[in-house]
Amino acid sequence: MKNNEPMNINEKLMNANEFKKRLVKLCLRSGLSDFPKAAMDQHVLLKSVMLTLGETAVFTEKEINAKLKHWVDHIGTFQLLDHVTLRRRLVDAGYVSRSSNGATYQIAESGMGVEGFETAVNHLNPTQILTEARAEIERRKQAYLTKQ
């Protein structure tokens, strides 16, 4: 994170609709090749990673790497971001903690991943959000081409 900058605690919590809009913008419309610089956008992406990890609270390094590779390949398709860098960002931002020997990773029970978003965000599926957004973009594209 840029200077480990947290979301502003005084701001209202991000709701599910705003989360969806920002996720679609960042992953499909921004043209970013690397992680965004804005702290709020970083938190949206990191939260989307957390939503793909599932209910398991503790992961081996191999398990978390597999899930992060899936996110990098299918959700946050940024050219300059790999699963190792993403894992480091999750740890640095407090979304997950790493055991002292690096063998396991545990989902944080508090922090920005929990406190910066309304509870409804926890029930979102980033893969589904982006699949639906891609379909809508394609539908609009076809409608535009048909008018030509």
Domain spans, the chain: 14-147
Other Cβ atoms less than 10 A from the Cβ of 134: the count is: 13
CA distance 74 to 58: 23
Going residue by residue through the chain (148 aa), what tens digit of pLDDT does each one get? 444 455 554 468 999 999 999 999 999 877 777 889 999 999 999 999 999 998 778 999 999 999 999 999 888 878 888 999 999 999 999 999 999 998 999 998 776 666 789 999 999 999 999 999 999 999 999 998 888 7
**pLDDT number for residue 114:** 66
**pLDDT number for residue 113:** 63
**pLDDT number for residue 12:** 83
**pLDDT number for residue 19:** 97
**pLDDT number for residue 78:** 83
**pLDDT number for residue 2:** 45
**pLDDT number for residue 139:** 93
**pLDDT number for residue 31:** 77
The amino acid present at 118, given as its one-letter code, is E
